[in-house]
Structure 1
Amino acid sequence: MQIGICLYGFGNVGREFVRVLVAKSGYLKSRHQIEVILQSIVTSKGGIVRPEGFGAGELLRLAAEGRLREHPEFCEHSPEQLERWVPRNAGGDMPRVIVDATWSDLATGEPGLSRLRRACELGCHIITLNKAPLVADFDGLVAAARENSVQLKFSGATAAGLPTIDTIRVSLAGAEVTSIEGIMNSTTNYILTAMSDEGLSYEDALNRTVAMGLAESETNRDVAGIDTACKVLILANAAMNAGKKLSDVKINGIADITRRDIARWAMEGRSVKLVGKAVRQNGDVVIEVGPAAIPHRDFFAQVREDAKAVKFTTDLFGELTMVGGSGGLTAAAGSALRDLVNLAGALRP
């Protein structure tokens, strides 16, 4: 099966996706019978369209340099003119997939939300690592995909290396999820571990995560609990039909936690974690994020450094807990590749 890709976003994640795509091209053909043809790369300033596809060597060079605008074929057109960037006829009936590796406003979901809605109308399948459109209008985007008979994949928006949404949709199919609880952000978990194990201050631990590349230079979404809230919100809407918005989530971050707090909790036999929860209560779903002092004997207390964990409670299967899943660029890019493989499987007769 041939699949045409239009990649939106050529920052760190977008370039890593290109590298992973090239590295895995042989495996995709031999193991999954998938030939991926990257036909366009689009940034906020414009992009390049290559209906026949980019060669592997050129892709690796572009990913290494990151200077797309200097390419002789670069066109300065609005990235929101999808018809310009998505080749229609190359490959005959070849499925077309938009991979969104951009950032958007969490309140409005824009510009990503309108772009993905238009992609549905054009019959393009969607793989999004961009949380904002899902946070702003999850139900609307799911409905648009259904109405236009296209696939909508977003495992990279819900903890990337930890296969949360795939577990919900496949392994827990038929079960009612009554609660979701998770340590969903690698940056905050590393900070809290370093404060606990090494006695670092919050500021020193935060600076280390930035220096390591674990966190972006703009860390507010992580430490304020917003990133965790977005992930739990998307999972709750997907698994529990919560119908909630980000404004419905009670959010507290970790910036006010001190070494004295850490020491006090340790004396009490507890470790602090930033935990996101979604619980079905009296016909509603309550979602909240905040620091939790967890007894050392609890499984979540053993989730250390940049690891993540999630626990689903269901009516048929009881509790299911998963831990691990690498963070960082490769895991994010890998989640998009995973979605691509699963998307291809869904399209096969």
Structure 2
Amino acid sequence: MSKFNQAKRIYFIGLKGVVGFSAKHLDRPIDLVIRSSAYSDDQVEVKAAKEKKIPVLSYAEALGELAGEYKSVAVCGSHGKTTISAMLAHVLKQANLSPSAIVGSAVPQFGGNALVGSGELLVFEADEYQNKLQYFSPQSVILTSIDWDHPDFFPSADDYFATFVTFLKKIPTDGFVVACYDSDNVKEAVDKAGLSPEQILTYGLTDGRLQMVRMWLDEGRWHFSATDGEEYLGEFWLKLVGSHNVANALAVIACARRLGVDLEAIRTGLASFEGTARRFENKGKLTNGITVVDDYAHHPGEIKATLKAARAFYPYKNIRCVFQPHTFSRTQALLADFVMLFINRQFRRQLII
């Protein structure tokens, strides 16, 4: 069990963990079973819990109940959820708001993938797969993008799109959405959700009220300037790589300002954020001096953004992309997009599968 990071954390905080599955694990007083959606009702422990009339919730259902106890911000969309969730939580923490947070990857500055704060705010990554969004009723939402994904569950792009529209309609009248208007699909979803103008905060690299003016790379840090309507917000800098992370930072600026965070506190928080695991994560160098970077990008749009960021950050280096296809269904459904990406003259000499 020691080889699993989550198991290490369980033991570190004093909880008892067991390896393997057995109905005997439920032969003691248990109030609630939370299961991964990877396990069906026939899984041995789930089945035993149901036979013993022990309440069973999926992870998404449990997260929805937890989020209901807070003034919550759900970060959703096809891309950027993990980075924005962690970045926003970090900025709020640095601003002394003591938020709680649940992120879909390890965040080194958190010592794990979560924060437990004493404040009223919860920032959480809201995964759309298997329509988990149906279990969440957040106060506010950040919507990054809508690019058809998870074809094993959403048979068409229209089905996928409709899930986000339904989710936005759940925002209460005193809540808001921070929407990336670089995406036409996001624009359409916000329009169909029927929110009032006061509830809609827009951002983007090229469109939206809060917008990037220019960006540049200087001494290994990404710098950018931004405006909010007619207001010039000044310059910001990031430890993260790529224009997509500038867009992520814009979402955080828009949300944090709406939550009452001072602009200078936001600027300081962004500058100190170190990123999350497997998001352009520098893993070190091989014995021959080659730098190895690990990134979870698995959708054609994400891979394109990561490769563009790598080229910008290492302009004079040879770059090789070692691509591991992620799920058969996605690879099959989006094969044409993968092919068009990798035969692009900019990337075609970089691919190893």
TM-score norm. by structure 1 comes to 0.32
TM-score norm. by structure 2 comes to 0.31
Structure with the bigger percentage of helix: 1
Of structures 1 and 2, the one scoring higher in RCO (CA 8 A, sep 6+) is 1
